[in-house]
Amino acid sequence: MSGALIRIAAMALKELRVVLLDRRVLTTLVISPVIQLILFGFATTLEVRNIDLGMVNRDTGVASERFVAAVAAVANVRSIHPYPNEAALVEAIEQRKVLGGLLIPPDLSARVERQDPAEIGLLLDGRRINAAQIVSGYVGEIAAQTGATLRSDGAPAAPQIAVRHWYNANLEFRWFTLPGMITLITTVLVLSVSVQAIARERESGTWDELMALPMRHWEILAGKCVPAFCVGLFNGGLYVAIIPLVSDVPFNGSLGLMLLAIASFSLAVTAIGLSISTLAQNQQQAFLGGFLVIVPMMLLSGYASPVDSMPAWLQPAARIDPLSHMLVVCHGLFLKAMPATMVFEQIWPMLAVAGVALILAVGLLKWRSE
Partner 1 sequence: MAEAPLLRLTDVTKRFKGLRRGAAPVQALRGISLSLSPGRSLGLVGPDAGGKTTLMRILAGLVEADSGEVEVLGAPVALLDRSLIGYMPQGGALYAELSVEQNLTLYARLRGLEPSENPERMELLYRATGLAPFMDRAVSRLSGGMRQKLALACAVVAAPPLMLLDEPSVGVDPVSRREIWDLAQELAGTGSSIVWTTSILEDAGKCDEVLLLHEGRVLYAGAPEGLAGQASGRTFARALPPWHRRAALQEVLERPDVISATIAGSNLRAVCRGEAALQGEGWASAEPSAEDGFSLILDDGRPLEPSALAAAFPLRESNPDLPAIAAIGLTRHYGAFTAAQDVSFTVHPGEIFGLLGPNGAGKSTTFRMLSGLLTPSSGRGTVAGRDLTTARAEAREAMGYMPQKFSLYGDLSVEANLRFVAGAYGLKGAAARVAVDRVVGALALQPFLSAMAGLLPLGIKQRLALGAAVLHTPPVLFLDEPTSGVDPLVRREFWHHINAIAARGTAVLVTTHFMDEAENCDRLLLINRSEAIAQGTPDDLKRLVPLEHGEPTLEQAFIALIEAQHLAENEAA
Partner 2 sequence: MSWRDPSAVRRAAAIRTKEWAQVWRDPSTFGLVVLMPLILMVLFGNAVSLDVRGTRLGIVDQDHTAASRALVDSLRHNRYFALREGPSLAGLEPGLTNGTLRGIAVIPDGFEQGMVRQPPRDVQLITDGSQVNTATFLTGHLRGALRDWVEARAREAGQGGGPVLSIVPRYSYNPGLESRYMLVPGAIGIVMAMIGSLLTALIMAREYERGTMEGLLSTPVSIPALVLSKLAPYYVLGLASTGICVLVAVYGYGLPFRGSIFALFLIASAFLAAVLGQGLLISAATKNQFVSTQFALLSGFLPSLLLSGFLFEIDSMPRAIQWLTYIVPARYLIPPLQSVFLVGDVWSLFVPNILILCGFGAFFFLRVTRAIKRRIA
User: What residues between 177 and 216 interact with partner 2 by CB under 8 A?
Assistant: 179, 188, 192, 196, 200, 203-204
- Position 158 contacts partner 1 (CB under 8 A): no
Q: How far is the CB of 364 from partner 1 (least distance, A)?
A: 17
- The answer to whether 136 and 48 are in contact (CB under 8 A) is no
Please say which residue, 9 or 241, places its beta carbon nearer to partner 1.
9
The conformational region for residue 327 under phi > 0 = left, psi -120 to 50 = alpha, else beta, is: alpha
Measured between alpha carbons, how far is 255 from 241 in angstroms, rounded to an integer? 10
> Which of partner 2, partner 1, none does 342 bind, CB closer than 5 to 8 A by kind?
partner 2
Task: Assign 310 to helix, strand or coil.
Answer: coil
- Position 121 contacts partner 2 (CB under 8 A): yes
Amino acid at 28: T
Segment lying near partner 2 (by CB under 8 A), choices 2-10, 33-41, 212-220, 254-262? 33-41
- Position 207 contacts partner 1 (CB under 8 A): yes
Give, as ranges, the residues between 20 and 59 that touch partner 1 (CB under 8 A): 21-22
Q: Which string of DSSP letters, residue by residue, matches 81-93?
A: EE-SSHHHHHHHH
Give, as ranges, the residues between 295 and 334 that touch partner 2 (CB under 8 A): 295-296, 299-300, 304-306, 308-311, 314, 318, 328, 331-332, 334
Q: How far is the CB of 11 from partner 1 (least distance, A)?
A: 7
The size of the interface with partner 2 (CB under 8 A), counted in residues, is 122
- Position 9 contacts partner 1 (CB under 8 A): yes
- Position 284 contacts partner 1 (CB under 8 A): no
- Position 212 contacts partner 1 (CB under 8 A): yes
Interface pattern 215-254 for partner 2 (x via CB under 8 A): ----------------------------------------
- Position 48 contacts partner 2 (CB under 8 A): yes
- The answer to whether 266 and 229 are in contact (CB under 8 A) is yes
Nearest Cα neighbor of 109 from 163, 146, 78, 70 is 146
Measured between alpha carbons, how far is 59 from 119 in angstroms, rounded to an integer? 12
Nearest Cα neighbor of 142 from 70, 221, 217, 245 is 70
- Position 11 contacts partner 1 (CB under 8 A): yes
Cβ neighbours for 243, distance < 8 A, ≥ 6 positions apart: 37, 41, 178, 179, 182, 249, 251, 334
- Position 214 contacts partner 1 (CB under 8 A): yes
Q: Which helix (H) or strand (E) holds 357?
A: helix 340-368
Give, as ranges, the residues between 215 and 234 that touch partner 1 (CB under 8 A): 215-216
- Position 84 contacts partner 2 (CB under 8 A): no
Nearest Cα neighbor of 369 from 191, 193, 198, 219 is 198
Q: How far is the CB of 2 from partner 2 (least distance, A)?
A: 33
Task: Assign 57 to helix, strand or coil.
Answer: strand
Cβ neighbours for 75, distance < 8 A, ≥ 6 positions apart: none
- The answer to whether 334 and 253 are in contact (CB under 8 A) is yes
- Position 174 contacts partner 1 (CB under 8 A): no
Give, as ranges, the residues between 144 and 183 that touch partner 2 (CB under 8 A): 144, 146-148, 150-151, 153, 155-169, 171-173, 175-176, 179
Nearest Cα neighbor of 101 from 91, 110, 111 is 91
Please say which residue, 219 or 326, places its beta carbon nearer to partner 2.
326
Measured between alpha carbons, how far is 163 from 169 in angstroms, rounded to an integer? 10
- Position 310 contacts partner 1 (CB under 8 A): no
- Residues found near partner 1 in the complex (CB under 8 A): 2-3, 6-7, 9-11, 13-14, 17-18, 21-22, 204-216, 370
